[in-house]
């Protein structure tokens, strides 16, 4: 072996030795980012979820047909053929509408859209999960409906105080904003499960079983095509994420139905209910006036104080600020709710109870939801007084 060749070989061997652990760790990271449908299913705990927990769409239509005080109707059908129900309480007070909201604002007379101040009751709009795996709000809203009907939640716990607040308002409750996504969510609850379970069921996988993950999953929309593996519960059966539909030229039926309802009802307050890993948080609504953002911040203050009283965790208050040009926020469903109806809109994020993050129990998740509704109703009723 010649001298230069032997030196070259030693260098190659050296590089190979140095690279070995690196290649190993890349492979390990890749494995951690990969999950097949069979693996995801095998990871679902064999357990009995609490009776008060609502983790699927089965039985919802029957439940809504049996209401005594509330009225249920179907406002849209999903691409998968599933009904999207609206449940209402309190009569709609007739108001004259001479202009749509943005024209009224252009005319410097918001009351030309609706003189909301002339209404006796506040109108509050609860938009249940448009992300199918975020069933914490489905549980919350179905329990809320039970409370409005009977005064008790599905645990049998007395909730007369919350019922009294609710019956002083007009309530628009859309328990399931994306029934296709919810129907695809086999675990029915992520409580006690892991970070990658959330990634699999929430955002899904590419065709090579790699987890799509956030924010990459938003970089292809509609999420359809040969490169898609398991379609995450973010999406309806046509691959549309209703939070990011094209609001001026809609691709799916869910977001337009939600916005049409807001436009017709002119809610004072509207929430889009979501879930995430950290503590409960009200998010700053983007592309709305500072005064509207301030309103959300004040609601957060009230809500977080109630959570503290009840030994439940919470985030810090949302900022009030101008839009950012470096890393702009998306104009999402929450922003659109303001621009069609003038409602104070916000996104709420509830903890799933994922291991290693905000490890709340199912009971605590329900309390976090019901406490939010209480804070929202109190806030709007106080404004009317």
Nearer Cβ to Zn ion (202/253): 202
> Which among 259, 262, 260 has a CA at the least distance from the CA of 123?
262
Name the residue among 337, 166, 198 with its Cα closest to residue 264.
Answer: 337
Count of positions on this chain that bind Zn ion (CB under 5 A):
2
If you search the block for the tokens 């948080």, which residue do you land on? Answer: 281
Q: Which stretch binds Zn ion (CB under 5 A): 1-9, 104-112, 128-136, 335-343?
A: 128-136
Could you tell me if 162 and 370 are in contact, meaning their C-beta atoms sit under 8 angstroms apart?
Answer: yes
Residue 60 or residue 217: which is nearer to Zn ion going by CB?
217
Output 72 or 368, the one with its CB closest to Zn ion. Answer: 368
Residues 142, 63: contact at Cβ < 8 Å? yes
Minimum distance of Zn ion from residue 291's CB (angstroms) = 26
If binding is defined by CB under 5 A, does position 352 make contact with Zn ion?
no
Among 130-138, 300-308, 356-364, 371-379, which window interacts with Zn ion (CB under 5 A)? 130-138
Non-local (6+) Cβ contacts of 382 within 8 A are none
Query: Which one of residues 121, 163, 170, 274 is an interface residue with Zn ion (CB under 5 A)?
Result: 274
Contacts of 50 by beta carbon, 8 Å cutoff, 6+ apart: 155, 362, 363
With CB under 5 A as the contact rule, which of the stretches 58-66, 126-134, 250-258, 288-296 interacts with Zn ion?
A: 126-134
For position 131 contacting Zn ion by CB under 5 A, the verdict is yes
What is the per-residue binding string for Zn ion in 234-273, x denoting contact by CB under 5 A?
----------------------------------------
**Nearer CB in complex with Zn ion: 35/350:** 350
Least Å distance between CB 316 and Zn ion?
20
Which of 88/203 has CB closer to Zn ion?
A: 203
Q: Is 199 in the site for Zn ion (CB under 5 A)?
A: no
User: If we measure between CA atoms, which residue out of 240, 174, 230, 175 comes closest to residue 202?
Assistant: 230
- What span, in angstroms and rounded, lies between the C-alpha atoms of 233 and 256? 19
| Residues forming a β-bridge with 205 | 211
Neighbours of 149 (CB within 10 A): 17
Q: Which residues bind Zn ion (CB under 5 A)?
A: 131, 274
């Amino acid at each position: 072996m010649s001298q230069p060749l032997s030196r070259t070989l030693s260098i190659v061997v050296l590089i190979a030795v140095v690279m070995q652990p690196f290649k190993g760790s890349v492979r390990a990271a890749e494995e951690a980012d990969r999950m097949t449908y069979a693996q995801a299913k095998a990871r679902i705990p064999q357990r009995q979820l609490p009776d008060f927990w609502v983790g699927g769409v089965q039985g919802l239509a029957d439940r809504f047909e049996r209401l005594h005080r509330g009225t249920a109707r179907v406002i849209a059908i999903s691409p998968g053929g599933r009904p999207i129900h609206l449940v209402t309480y309190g009569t709609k007070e007739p108001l004259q509408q001479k202009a749509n909201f943005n024209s009224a604002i252009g005319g410097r007379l918001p009351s030309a859209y609706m003189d909301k101040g002339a209404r006796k009751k506040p109108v509050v709009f609860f938009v249940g999960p448009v992300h199918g795996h975020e069933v914490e709000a489905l549980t919350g809203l179905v329990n809320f409906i039970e409370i409005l009907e009977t005064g008790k939640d599905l645990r049998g716990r007395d909730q007369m105080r919350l019922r009294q607040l609710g019956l002083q308002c007009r309530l628009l409750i859309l328990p399931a904003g994306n029934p296709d996504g919810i129907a695809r969510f086999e675990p029915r609850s992520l409580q006690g499960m892991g970070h990658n379970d959330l990634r699999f069921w929430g955002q899904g996988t590419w065709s090579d079983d790699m987890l799509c993950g956030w924010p990459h999953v938003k970089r292809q929309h509609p999420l359809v095509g040969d490169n898609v593996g398991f379609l995450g519960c973010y999406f309806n059966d046509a691959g549309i994420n209703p939070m990011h539909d094209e609001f001026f030229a809609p691709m799916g039926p869910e977001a337009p139905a939600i916005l049409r309802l807001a436009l017709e009802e002119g809610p004072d307050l509207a929430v889009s209910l979501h879930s995430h890993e950290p503590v409960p948080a009200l998010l700053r609504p983007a592309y709305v006036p500072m005064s509207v953002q301030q309103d959300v911040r004040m609601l957060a203050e009230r809500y977080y104080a109630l959570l503290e009283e009840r030994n439940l965790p919470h985030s810090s208050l949302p900022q009030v600020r101008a839009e950012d040009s470096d890393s702009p926020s998306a104009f999402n469903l929450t922003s659109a709710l303001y621009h069609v109806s003038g409602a104070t809109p916000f996104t709420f994020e509830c903890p799933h109870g994922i291991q290693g993050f905000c490890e709340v129990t199912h009971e605590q998740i329900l309390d976090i939801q019901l406490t939010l509704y209480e804070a929202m109703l109190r806030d709007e009723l106080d404004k009317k007084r």
